[in-house]
Amino acid sequence: MTKRLGALILLLSLAGAAAAQAQSYPTRTITLTAKAAPDGYSLLVAEAGTFTINPTLYGNGKLPYDEEKDFIPITSIVRINQALLGHPSLPANNVRELIELARKTPGELTYGTAGIGSAPHMNMVLFESLAGVKLVPVHYRGAAPALSDVIAGHVNLMSVSVSLALPPFRTGQIKIFGIGSAKRLPLAPDIPTVAENGLPGYEATTWFGLFATAGTPPAIVTKINAEVAEILADPQFREKFLAPQMFEPMASSPEEFADYIKAERRKWAKVIREQKLSIEK
């Protein structure tokens, strides 16, 4: 997803910039990579966990990058809301009932993840933390096999993107307890949010953002930011590329994005430490 979305955003950004006259940037192909010369030609499209979860989950000095010193936030791109779902056989029909069930059966309900530290994992950890319940993670190499096992009844619960959850929900293969968005989604207005359905304050999302190498001139950061914002505001782009995946456009200024990342990092650091999670590397 990262490569596809990043390539799409940057190709369209390049096309828009190249159409303008008398510009000094860009004059050659833009590429995606994690570390490169700070000239605006190599950019990083990263999922939220890269900057908000991994630094705490892995611990100081264990990652091959410094999330604060090696990169400059350019803009957030899209938000992807997650659905809290379960097998239809579960004796719970809303979030309140699910929490009651989990409290009555501590350590018995299982949930699938896309791996340790993934959004499906951390959003369920957040659910445990806010609800005061204990669940059992079952880690998979990706969301699709985890969802398949929920549908088959081998795993009880999961948090996964709404676009993946809706097809099996509409055919009765799973039940959705709620969506982790701040408000109901236009494409699924019949499904309540987790917050309104029993767990106030809960939000389950992930996002993708665009970053430049530290030292990139502010003028270039500002130019790229403006190009991406224009693309994300285009109704045709939203309808053709974002709506089918239920991506929410999430454009922001570099400063707003930097502040948001810091707030999210603090939030997840608290949850990770409370739950005593870590990855040895």
Percent of the chain with pLDDT over 90: 62
Structure tokens belonging to residue 170: 């509409």
Taken in order 253, 254, 258, 261, the sign of the CA dihedral is: positive
CA 60 to chain centre: 23
pLDDT given at position 30: 47
Task: In whole angstroms, give the CA distance from residue 131 to residue 200.
Answer: 9
The 3-state DSSP class for residue 213 equals strand
Quick: pLDDT tens for 113-151.
998 899 999 999 999 999 999 999 999 999 999 999 999
Quick: pLDDT tens for 207-224.
989 999 999 999 999 988
Residues 6+ apart with CB under 8 A from 60: none
Q: How many Cβ atoms are within 10 Å of 168's Cβ, its own excluded? A: 18
The 3-state DSSP class for residue 200 equals coil
Q: Which is higher by pLDDT, 244 or 182?
A: 182
Residue carrying the six token digits 């949930």? 111
Residues 6+ apart with CB under 8 A from 47: 1, 2, 119, 206, 207, 208
The 3-state DSSP class for residue 33 equals coil
CA dihedral 47, 50, 53, 54 (to 10 degrees): 150
Residue type, 205: T
Structure tokens belonging to residue 31: 């590429």
Closest CA to 58 of 47, 69, 49: 49
DSSP label at residue 246: T
Cα distance from N-terminal residue to C-terminal residue, the chain? 25
Confidence of residue 104 (pLDDT cuts 50, 70, 90): very high
Q: At what angle do helices 254-274 and 119-131 cross, to 10 degrees?
A: 60
Assessment of whether the complete model's pTM goes beyond 0.85: no
DSSP label at residue 172: T
Residue carrying the six token digits 């870590």? 278
Confidence of residue 35 (pLDDT cuts 50, 70, 90): low
Residues 193 and 184 sit within 8 Å (Cβ to Cβ) = yes
